[in-house]
Amino acid sequence: MAKSESTVQIYEITRVTPSPDSPNSANELTLPHLKWPSRSWAYLCKNGGKELPPELTPSFDRSIIKDPSGLDILFLNQWRDIFADYREFNSRSLRIPDEFDPISDDVVRATFEFTNKDIKRLRDKAWSKLNTNGEAKQQQQQHHLSSFVLTLAYTTTCLVKTKGQGDRDVVIDFGVDCRARLDPPAPPTYFGNCVVNYSNSAEARNFIGEEGFGFAIEMVSELVQKVKKGVLAGAEMKVTNFYAPKLPGTQLIIVAGSPKLNVYEADFGLSSKLKKVEIVSIERDEAVFMAESREGNGGVEVGLALKKHEMEKFAALFYGGLRSLD
């Protein structure tokens, strides 16, 4: 698709093909799971399997994680109870059921970019929505207007509008890297899913209309503020809440990746820098893949997998909303 006159850019739209044998070009990276230390992987590819330097050597020392309240056993028991119906009789397996609905032939992928200029304009719009009655300083303390919050909130409003009006619930969910936030902190080389999920829900009608973007900002910002209060606060119910049954028709907006992962900086020793990074599973649950812009301009990329007519509607909303900021 050609570039729009807007500062926003759709890099490409591709049809989703479920075949696991589809070849990838040499400068594309398809990540099944971004918790893998991609820089270590890249170093080994570039240097022919040489020994990793200390700063890239994964640590498998589980004793680093201190768990005085016994969350490990609590989580295991909750996991066992949640998936009891999927396990064979007397099985001790904690394997996640891999039963997924088939992917529609009409599903396509697209990648959108927010430039640094777009993010600045979104921030200005957010302040115009939030700063009322002369309460600018108080609002500034209450809201976290990072690039992540702004772009996720804007993407959420476009996704909800794409699905249309309705009484459905909308759930926003994203994972947080806990390593540096533990007490004591785990090193950045710690290898493991040291991640906690944060989520919140609201009715779809709140995201539609003039105040929709401001409402989404408040919702995402509130989740980020909870992270600042401690990643283990309320952890006892994290597993149960994550897998709790959702109301029929619930729209899940699950974030995969993060602009802070710097995935495009991975150097695999190729003839050119990576041109595209994707997470392979977003088409199964309509997740939102977020990464830093491949252009290195301080922007953010958002990858989606939607039905073709929904993608066209999303693109129109996405472009139109950003043009209105001029």
Instruction: With respect to residue 241, please indicate whether it lies within any of the assigned structural domains.
Output: yes
Q: Evaluate whether 263 touches 285 at the Cβ level (below 8 Å).
A: no
Q: Residue 288: what are its φ and ψ, rounded to 5°?
A: -110, 115
pLDDT band at 2 (very low <50, low <70, confident <90, very high): very low
Instruction: With respect to residue 2, please indicate whether it lies within any of the assigned structural domains.
Output: no
Sorted by sequence, the CB contacts under 8 Å of residue 16 that are 6+ apart come out as 103, 107, 108, 109, 283, 305
User: How many domains are there within the chain?
Assistant: 1
Length of the chain: 326
Q: Is the pLDDT of residue 209 over 90?
A: no
Instruction: With respect to residue 224, please indicate whether it lies within any of the assigned structural domains.
Output: yes
Instruction: With respect to residue 95, please indicate whether it lies within any of the assigned structural domains.
Output: yes
Q: Evaluate whether 161 touches 209 at the Cβ level (below 8 Å).
A: no
What CATH number does the domain containing 257 carry?
3.30.559.10
Q: What's the pTM?
A: 0.83
Domain of residue 54 covers: 9-323
Cα–Cα distance, 87 to 97 (Å, whole number): 9
Q: Is the pLDDT of residue 288 over 70?
A: yes
Cα–Cα distance, 151 to 217 (Å, whole number): 9
Sorted by sequence, the CB contacts under 8 Å of residue 27 that are 6+ apart come out as 270, 271, 272, 273, 274, 275, 276
Q: Evaluate whether 324 touches 125 at the Cβ level (below 8 Å).
A: no
Cα–Cα distance, 182 to 65 (Å, whole number): 8
Q: Is the pLDDT of residue 14 over 70?
A: no
- Per-residue pLDDT of 130-177, as tens digits, reads 665 355 555 555 677 899 999 999 999 999 999 988 789 999 999 888
pLDDT of residue 32: 39
Instruction: With respect to residue 268, please indicate whether it lies within any of the assigned structural domains.
Output: yes
Instruction: With respect to residue 3, please indicate whether it lies within any of the assigned structural domains.
Output: no
Instruction: With respect to residue 1, please indicate whether it lies within any of the assigned structural domains.
Output: no
